[in-house]
Amino acid sequence: MRILVTGGAGFIGSHLCEKLINQGHDVICMDNFFTGSKDNIRHLMDNWNFELIRHDVTQSYLLEVDQIYHFACPASPIHYQYNPVKTIKTSVLGTIHMLGMAKRVRARLMLASTSEVYGDPNIHPQPETYWGNVNPIGIRSCYDEGKRVAETLMMDYHRQNKVDIKIIRIFNTYGPRMALNDGRVVSNFIVQALQNKNITVYGEGQQTRSFQYVDDLLNGVFKMMQKEAFIGPVNLGNPNEFTIRALAEKVIDLTGSKSKLVYQDLPSDDPAQRQPDIALARQQLDWEPIIQLEDGLRKTIPYFEEKLRRNM
Ligand code: NAD
Ligand code: UDP
């Protein structure tokens, strides 16, 4: 198949491009390199089945493809808050353009949505039937509401124009190819620990997240893309939940670091807890994550060690 991956030079997108090429597909990676990097896809550049297009999804583009994985969007709070108007344009205009393409060429389109559609949840764990608790006017809204509108657009194009859609809601995912300056908690803590710098815990570190290793996510992504007669939305995440403080202690332990924890202000609207209910994914996709946090961190730490060595 000829497959378009938007955001293909990013953390998740680059793993997706690589795995699709290994499956024998023709892959077109579209990225504007806002948070992605050529480093993530350098090893694919000589492959005849790989094409790279520098393009911003807020502008339309004509292509003929069989499938679209629409992953373009900054995902780290620091990056999506850097230019919030651009972030919401990326989600809304970008998804309209991909839906237009999917409609024109009858391609199957998957949207990478997010657990952020649940906001600061007051139902725990979060099933897909929960409509969420999102602040529409806060500093995270450009991302959360952008993705909520993107989901709405997907559903409306599906109902109105019969576009073949798939919606996944990804929970906190980590692994190699996250940027050094990504700003999300796993990469921040590993990079700080490897440099014996203070580990910046926001708030008291009692807020929770459930961390998923990237390979587990991609297994779920492929199962979802292949599944007939199921459009989602479906949660893809690891239900094992940790406090941010426990994550910091684990990272210090696994890196043998001398770093100390320092406590900084909690950003506004930072969700207090988050854990996916994955019953639907188990039932529909026969999928569940198998890589637990400690094993995933052990696979991720050497990548950051190498990256820091090369940056020095
Ligand atoms: P990332 O920042 O590493 O990747 C995003 C990619 O999209 C980058 O390569 C970036 O340059 C590109 N991009 C951003 N705006 C663009 C635009 N206007 N036009 C073209 N390209 C653009 O983040 P990631 O963690 O790989 O996230 C990928 C997708 O998965 C995002 O849609 C994100 O919302 C979603 N997601 C990720 C997580 C997670 O924990 N990693 C959780 C939920 C949802
Ligand atoms: N966090 C932290 N220190 C950091 C980065 C993040 O304590 O250096 C916290 C953040 O406040 C949040 C959690 O870790 O409670 C996860 O943050 P991240 O940015 O990774 O993703 P989120 O799930 O908030 O989108």
* 54-89 tens-digit pLDDT: 999 999 999 999 999 999 999 999 999 999 999 999
Q: Please give the average per-residue pLDDT across 111-122, as a whole number.
A: 97
pLDDT band at 311 (very low <50, low <70, confident <90, very high): confident
> Ligand 1 centroid vs 260 CA: distance in angstroms?
31
Is the shortest distance between the CB of 185 and ligand 2 below 6 Å?
yes
Question: What are the tokens at 145?
Answer: 């509401």
Question: Cα separations (Å) of 33 from 8, 13, 53?
Answer: 9, 12, 10
With 0-12 / 13-18 / 19 or more C-beta atoms within 10 angstroms meaning exposed / middle / buried, residue 260 is exposed
Q: Which domains does the chain have, with CATH numbers?
A: 2-174+212-236 (3.40.50.720), 185-208+241-274+292-311 (3.90.25.10)
Is the shortest distance between the CB of 273 and ligand 2 below 6 Å?
no
> Ligand 2 centroid vs 208 CA: distance in angstroms?
9
pLDDT over 70 for what percent of the chain?
100
Which atom belonging to ligand 2 lies closest to the Cα atom of 78?
Answer: 19
With 0-12 / 13-18 / 19 or more C-beta atoms within 10 angstroms meaning exposed / middle / buried, residue 11 is buried
Specify the pTM. Answer: 0.98
Residue whose CA lies nearest to ligand 2 atom number 17: 185
Q: According to DSSP H, which parts of 162-257 are helical?
A: 185-194, 214-226, 244-255
- Which range is least confidently modeled, 120-124, 128-132, 160-164, 307-311? 307-311
The predicted pLDDT at position 312 comes to 54
Is the shortest distance between the CB of 172 and ligand 2 below 6 Å?
yes
Marked catalytic residue, from 143, 157, 174, 213: 143
Using an 8 Å Cβ cutoff, are 8 and 16 in contact?
yes
Exposure on the CB side of residue 183, measured as CA atoms within 13 A: 11
> Ligand 2 centroid vs 184 CA: distance in angstroms?
6
Residue whose CA lies nearest to ligand 2 atom number 14: 185
Active site residue 118: no
Q: Please give the average per-residue pLDDT across 245-271, as a whole number.
A: 97
Using an 8 Å Cβ cutoff, are 112 and 234 in contact?
no
